[in-house]
Amino acid sequence: MNHVSEKKLLIKDAYLIATMDDKNTKYDGGYIIISGNKIEQVGKVLPKDIDLKNYDVIDAKNCVVLPGFINTHHHLYQTLTRCLKKSQDKELFDWLLYLYDIWGKFLNPQTVRYSTLLGCGELLLTGCTTCVDMFYVFPFDQPKDLLDYEIESAKEVGIRFVSCRGSMSRGRAQGGLPPDNLVQKENEIIKDYLRVVDKYHDGKDFSMTQIVLAPCSPFSVTEELLTQTAQLAKEKKLLCHTHLAETKDEEKYCIENFCLRPLEYLEKCGWLNERSFFAHSIYLNDDEIKKIAEFGSGISHCPTSNLRLGSGIMRLKYMKDAGVNISLAVDGSASNDTSNMLAELRQCLLIHKYYSGPSSISAEDIFWIATRGGAKVLHRDDIGYISEGKAADIVMFNINRLGYIGSLEDPLSALLYCGDSQIAHMVIVNGKIVVKEGKLVNVDEEKMFYEYLLKYKDITNYRN
Ligand SMILES: [Zn+2]
């Protein structure tokens, strides 16, 4: 089957289609017709006049079909520094202090390319069709356009990509956490924001590449950069993104350095509005959560990373009840240490059942957060649900496997509760098949894996 042929795609005989549309419509045994990059039709019974010869037909017999997941916070470059021994037992600040130097030494165009291919590959294989990535380490001795290698590699693997031009401007000499050789001057950063926006940002529906402005965190950027970024985002109608209230240490840092709590500080810098979205946001009090809901800022919830670093648990139920726009994210691969999106949904479900009680959240709530929640945070209505005229971003999980036996009363929830693998059977992004029978289509997985091993097996030489 040639998925780039002129023919329309027909997904038929699905076990279940969970559309995630406004009515949360589900079809047992449904079908989807895809024309170009859009969903043309979705329904339960295939119209009789359809001539299968005119379609590239995908048999979805044992598959649960969903809109692709949206991962709203990642640091793909960290894929090459997963699970380093000395990083395993540290809290955020010590973890960063250990890793900054390693990242500073090994990041170059090739490692950026590999980490993007590998990380995006993992995301696609586990059902994620849109990835937001924050790239914020620009070593002084490397080409200034490292971000471009990431964006081009994401295109190569076929994922819908939102690239956050990250930045650090507050080095140790200015009381920040990162080493001085990894920070850039504000004017250099602003200039590069404009360059990448001009070169890559496509703000239209069905866009495959967008740019977000993303100063890294209160302890690694200057007040000047935060303020200028918010102004520029407003002027250019762009989103802006940063880490917020991730740890108690960050809260202490903000109070000691700015005499303000983290959200108060960002508000002072012009960040409390619907264009901003924040990663983590664990240490927010009731009033701050209400304020975020009122101003319409989004949240990227990263449960696994928060557990791994012992940072804490975000108040998901309280935020949801308060009306905050919440999305789900795997976070960088040095604090997860995987880009497995379906596993992140499961983690999210389980941790909040513990944290707020088993009736506080359902598997379907988590699917909603990982699809519609992500789309809302990104100000998009073209992705996140299966409906006529929306982008054809579709994932199919085969439940005809050992791990799902006994679970068919609720096959959708079973994707989070059960399973012996989180690998999707098929993934379609923007109307193109990018995962087929559990394998990436656009890159040779094995070749990429062995090339990586050959070139970077000595990554541990970069250790301090
Ligand atoms: Zn992060």
Give the angle subtended at the CA of 60 by the CAs of 56 and 63, to the nearest 5°. 150
Does residue 124 share a domain with residue 55?
A: no
CA of 31 to the centre of ligand 1 (A): 38
CA of 60 to the centre of ligand 1 (A): 36
Does residue 50 share a domain with residue 173?
A: no
Does residue 74 share a domain with residue 62?
A: no
CA of 25 to the centre of ligand 1 (A): 34
> Which CATH number goes with the domain that contains 29?
2.30.40.10
Distance CA 419, CA 421 (A): 6
Does residue 359 share a domain with residue 289?
A: yes
CA of 76 to the centre of ligand 1 (A): 10
CA of 333 to the centre of ligand 1 (A): 9
156: left (phi over 0), alpha (psi -120 to 50) or beta: alpha
Does residue 113 share a domain with residue 57?
A: no
CA of 75 to the centre of ligand 1 (A): 6
Does residue 110 share a domain with residue 222?
A: yes
Tell me what pLDDT residue 464 has. Answer: 47
CA of 447 to the centre of ligand 1 (A): 29
Does residue 57 share a domain with residue 184?
A: no
Tell me what pLDDT residue 1 has. Answer: 47
CA of 357 to the centre of ligand 1 (A): 27
Distance CA 77, CA 116 (A): 7
Does residue 167 share a domain with residue 103?
A: yes
CA of 136 to the centre of ligand 1 (A): 10
> Which CATH number goes with the domain that contains 144?
3.20.20.140
354 HSE (CA, 13 A, CB side): 8
Integer distance in angstroms from the first to the last C-alpha of the chain?
50
User: How far is Cα of residue 188 from the mean position of the Cα atoms in its chain?
Assistant: 27
CA of 123 to the centre of ligand 1 (A): 16
pTM of the predicted model, to two decimals? Answer: 0.97
Does residue 219 share a domain with residue 144?
A: yes
CA of 277 to the centre of ligand 1 (A): 12
What amino acid is encoded at 38 in this protein?
K
CA of 186 to the centre of ligand 1 (A): 21
Residue 218 lies in a domain: yes
User: What total of structural domains would you count in the chain?
Assistant: 2
CA of 74 to the centre of ligand 1 (A): 6
Distance CA 305, CA 92 (A): 10
Rg (CA), the chain: 21
CA of 29 to the centre of ligand 1 (A): 39
CA of 232 to the centre of ligand 1 (A): 22
CA of 236 to the centre of ligand 1 (A): 24
> Which tokens is 336 given?
């997860």
Tell me what pLDDT residue 448 has. Answer: 83
CA of 95 to the centre of ligand 1 (A): 12
Distance CA 118, CA 75 (A): 12
CA of 174 to the centre of ligand 1 (A): 22
CA of 279 to the centre of ligand 1 (A): 7
Distance CA 32, CA 231 (A): 43
CA of 303 to the centre of ligand 1 (A): 11
CA of 401 to the centre of ligand 1 (A): 34
CA of 356 to the centre of ligand 1 (A): 24
Residue 143 lies in a domain: yes
Does residue 397 share a domain with residue 316?
A: no
The dihedrals phi and psi of 447, each to the nearest 5 degrees, come to -60, -45
CA of 203 to the centre of ligand 1 (A): 24
Residue 462 lies in a domain: no
Residue 329 lies in a domain: yes
Can you give the chain as a three-state secondary structure string?
CCCCCCCEEEEECCCEEECCCCCCCEEECCEEEEECCEEEEEECCCCCCCCHHHEEEEECCCEEEEECEEECCCCHHHHHHCCCHHHCCCCHHHHHHHHHHHHHHHCCHHHHHHHHHHHHHHHHHCCEEEEEEEECCCCCCCCCCHHHHHHHHHHHHCCEEEEEEEECCCCHHHCCCCCHHHCCCHHHHHHHHHHHHHHHCCCCCCCCEEEEEEECCCCCCCHHHHHHHHHHHHHHCCCEEEEECCCHHHHHHHHHHHCCCHHHHHHHCCCCCCCEEEEECCCCCHHHHHHHHHHCCEEEECHHHHHHCCCCCCCHHHHHHHCCEEEECCCCCCCCCCCCHHHHHHHHHHHHHHHHCCCCCCHHHHHHHHHHHHHHHCCCCCCCCCCCCCECCEEEEECCCHHHCCCCCCHHHHHHHCCCCCCCCEEEECCEEEEECCEECCCCHHHHHHHHHHHHHHHHHHCC
Other C-beta atoms closer than 10 Å to the C-beta of 295 total 14
Does residue 78 share a domain with residue 62?
A: no
CA of 331 to the centre of ligand 1 (A): 5
113 burial (CB, 10 Å; 0-12 / 13-18 / 19+) is middle
Task: Quote the domain boundaries for residue 125.
Answer: 69-377
Tell me what pLDDT residue 447 has. Answer: 86
CA of 220 to the centre of ligand 1 (A): 13
Pick from 336, 352, 377: which residue ends a domain? 377
Pick from 354, 377, 400: which residue ends a domain? 377
CA of 171 to the centre of ligand 1 (A): 18
CA of 306 to the centre of ligand 1 (A): 10
Does residue 354 share a domain with residue 394?
A: no
Other C-beta atoms closer than 10 Å to the C-beta of 26 total 17
CA of 243 to the centre of ligand 1 (A): 6
CA of 73 to the centre of ligand 1 (A): 6
CA of 330 to the centre of ligand 1 (A): 9
Beta bridge partner(s), residue 44? none
pLDDT tens track, the chain, 464 positions: 445 567 999 999 999 999 999 999 999 999 999 999 999 999 999 999 999 999 999 999 999 999 999 999 999 999 989 999 999 999 999 999 999 999 999 899 999 999 999 999 999 999 999 999 999 999 999 999 999 999 999 999 999 999 999 999 999 999 999 999 999 999 999 999 999 999 999 999 999 999 999 999 999 999 999 999 999 999 999 999 999 999 999 999 999 999 999 999 999 999 999 999 999 999 999 999 999 999 999 999 999 999 999 999 999 999 999 999 999 999 999 999 999 999 999 999 999 999 999 999 999 999 999 999 999 999 999 999 999 999 999 999 999 999 999 999 999 999 999 999 999 999 999 999 999 999 999 999 888 888 777 776 655 555 54
Beta bridge partner(s), residue 396? 65, 426
Residue 403 lies in a domain: yes
Residue 452 lies in a domain: no
Distance CA 34, CA 398 (A): 20
CA of 59 to the centre of ligand 1 (A): 38
The dihedrals phi and psi of 251, each to the nearest 5 degrees, come to -60, -45
The dihedrals phi and psi of 38, each to the nearest 5 degrees, come to -120, 155
The dihedrals phi and psi of 451, each to the nearest 5 degrees, come to -60, -45
Residue 464 lies in a domain: no
Residue 3 lies in a domain: no
List, in order, residues 6 or more apart from 158 with CB less than 8 Å away: 124, 429, 432, 434, 441, 442
Q: Are 159 and 151 in contact (CB under 8 A)?
A: no
CA of 403 to the centre of ligand 1 (A): 32
Q: Are 205 and 246 in contact (CB under 8 A)?
A: no
